[in-house]
Structure 1
Amino acid sequence: MTARRHHFVSQCYLNNFAGPHKKVPQIRVYDRVSKTAFRTGIDNVVAERDFNRFEAEGQQPDAFENSMAGFEGELDGPLGRIIATRSLSNDGDRA
């Protein structure tokens, strides 16, 4: 299945700004156009349909999105530890 909704700010990064709300982590959003603020799940913001999609011979259209998903999966643990300890002293996390 091809992912169509692509986040241009990683959900694992956004999750660190989210507060618990029912069962879904949510963040507070400000809409500059309507000048209103609201809470929403991190899956509903900074995303655009096919944002990371590209057409190149020999490549799947979602190859970059899939690559980013792998990177974000690796980033989640170290990012969480850096935030929790407020330190970059762990060589593995810093790398």
Structure 2
Amino acid sequence: MIRSILFHLIPLLLPFVVYAVYLYFNARAGGDKKWGKVSLAVTTMIGLLLMAVSLITLGLVSGSPREGTVYVPPRFEDGRLIDSQILPAEEQE
């Protein structure tokens, strides 16, 4: 769970961190750039774009195989709750 949250949160925050580092070194070199509305909007858009790419990537490369599997919903057997399962098609009960 933490990994998937970080997988989306890091790309969102990465442009802000990079721009903050740029502003830090710019100020040390005598520059006078500051956070502005345009720079904040651009970094937000870049972060959202990177987050969307991470969502699409995670959706494409993760998950269970859909073909040849059967979903068995949760059920009661002998007074006990049996969890849901995804079984290969030939092992269906």
Q: Into which bin does the TM-score normalised by the smaller protein fall?
A: under 0.3
Greater radius of gyration (CA):
2
What TM-score do the two structures reach when normalised by structure 2? 0.27
Compare relative contact order (CA 8 Å, sep 6+) and give the higher one, 1 or 2: 1
What TM-score do the two structures reach when normalised by structure 1? 0.27
Higher helix share: 2
